[in-house]
Amino acid sequence: MPEPTAEIVDLRSDTVTRPTEGMRRAIASAEVGDDVFREDPTTRALEVRVAQMLGKEAALFVPSGTMGNQLAIALHTRPGDEVIVGEGAHVYWYESGAGAALSGVQFAVAGSGGLFRGADVRSAQKPRAYWCARTSLVCIENTHNRAGGRIFPSAWVDEIAAACADEDLPMHLDGARLWNACTASGETPASLARHFVTVSVCFSKGLGAPAGSVLAGPGPLIERAVRLRKMWGGGMRQVGMLAAAATYALDHHMTRLASDHEHAALIARGVLSLGTCEVTPPETNIVQVKFPKPIAARIEALANKQGIRVSIPDPDRIRIVTHLDVKKVDAVRACEVLQAVITSEVR
Ligand SMILES: Cc1ncc(COP(=O)(O)O)c(C=O)c1O
């Protein structure tokens, strides 16, 4: 097994990055005002920029992707409504039950594996009859986190949009990693966002900002979101410091996402070459390794001892996420350690 070194390679998530020197300088020199008064120039400029990038009328800076998604759910639904999502959707799995707690909605799962098609929406939607829950929103995650950073195929989104148009259903895009989908597919953010009424994007994942997301959509909906954001405690004052980090990330970190994808592919190839476990071919920056038995916690602990940190989404699965703080040399070392650990545990 490779010798442990002092340097830890943290592959648990792309949210673990620390701001670069350049980003810290941008934060320190940000022009700021009180954003609850809507007087923070850096934040307002970022909102305009991101709205344009996504082809939407307006946008609102929010503290987190969770708040962006949950504001969208609240804007599109009424208590008792149902939201159609893919299997393992972040809004359904990882947002602490906020859909139920804040908006009073329930979720229906379309298809399997996270991605779904137009026909899946049609079969998941409850009939508009008797006392059925009212289906009022379809939410898509691109890239899909639990599915291993998979890109939602554009043709499938087109099908879903057609099904939604037939039923007058709005669509929300959880684009926490939309930037990765754009990098890998060569499509623009506006193109990937075109069917969606609202879109949330994050700066705190692959783009490497310390916090911050944006919810974009039609002007009147975003106006309502401003009020809800305040109600939920997300109104921030001189938040231009965070908006400056996000702006810096858009300017400097978009083009480097391709190397995260290459590093994920490098690790996936190395682990796959062992021939002892299933590796989902990474489409972006997430690699999932599935073992023939529930040994993910043991693999995680052994890799951790060698300075390689991974996460455990399921008892038989580990997740490896590449990001700004992972250089090629780190990816190579992570691959060697994982190969050695897996070989010692899976035969
Ligand atoms: C797909 C997806 N959506 C939303 C979020 C929520 O983002 P935040 O942690 O900023 O609330 C995450 C976080 O990892 C995510 O992976």
pLDDT tens for the 347 residues of the chain, in order: 554 455 899 999 999 999 999 999 999 999 999 999 999 999 999 999 999 999 999 999 999 999 999 999 999 999 999 999 999 999 999 999 999 999 999 999 999 999 999 999 999 999 989 999 999 999 999 999 999 999 999 999 999 999 999 999 999 999 999 999 999 999 999 999 999 999 999 999 999 999 999 999 999 999 999 999 999 999 999 999 999 999 999 999 999 999 999 999 999 999 999 999 999 899 999 999 999 999 999 999 999 999 999 999 999 999 999 999 999 999 999 999 999 999 999 97
Contact (Cβ atoms closer than 8 angstroms) between residue 51 and residue 59: yes
CATH number belonging to the domain at 9-17+256-345, selected among 3.40.50.620, 3.90.79.10, 3.90.1150.10, 3.30.950.10: 3.90.1150.10
Q: What is the CA(99)–ligand 1 centre distance, in A?
A: 14
Ligand 1 close to Cβ of residue 88 (< 6 A): no
Ligand 1 close to Cβ of residue 90 (< 6 A): yes
**CA 110, CA 100: separation in Å to the nearest integer?**
18
Ligand 1 close to Cβ of residue 141 (< 6 A): yes
Ligand 1 close to Cβ of residue 64 (< 6 A): yes
Ligand 1 close to Cβ of residue 77 (< 6 A): no
CATH number belonging to the domain at 31-252, selected among 3.30.1450.10, 3.40.640.10, 1.10.274.10, 3.40.50.1000: 3.40.640.10
Q: Give how far Cα 142 sits from Cα of 96, 156, 200, 254, Å.
A: 20, 12, 10, 16
What the block records as the tokens of 337 is: 């350690």
Strand, helix or coil for residue 170: coil
**CA 61, CA 179: separation in Å to the nearest integer?**
17
Tokens 């995650």 belong to residue: 141
How many residues are listed for the chain in this entry? 347
Identify the residue whose C-alpha is closest to ligand 1 atom 6: 65
Residues of the chain with CATH 3.90.1150.10: 9-17+256-345
Taking only the tens place, the pLDDT of each residue in 153-168 is 999 999 999 999 999 9
Residues of the chain with CATH 3.40.640.10: 31-252
**CA 126, CA 137: separation in Å to the nearest integer?**
12
Strand, helix or coil for residue 90: helix
Taking only the tens place, the pLDDT of each residue in 111-148 is 999 999 999 999 999 998 999 999 999 999 999 999 99
Q: What is the CA(200)–ligand 1 centre distance, in A?
A: 10
Ligand 1 close to Cβ of residue 341 (< 6 A): no
Q: What is the CA(286)–ligand 1 centre distance, in A?
A: 14
Q: What is the CA(228)–ligand 1 centre distance, in A?
A: 19
**CA 207, CA 201: separation in Å to the nearest integer?**
11
Q: Give how far Cα 232 sits from Cα of 42, 84, 155, 228, Å.
A: 22, 24, 36, 6
The amino acid that residue 64 corresponds to is S
Q: What is the CA(71)–ligand 1 centre distance, in A?
A: 14
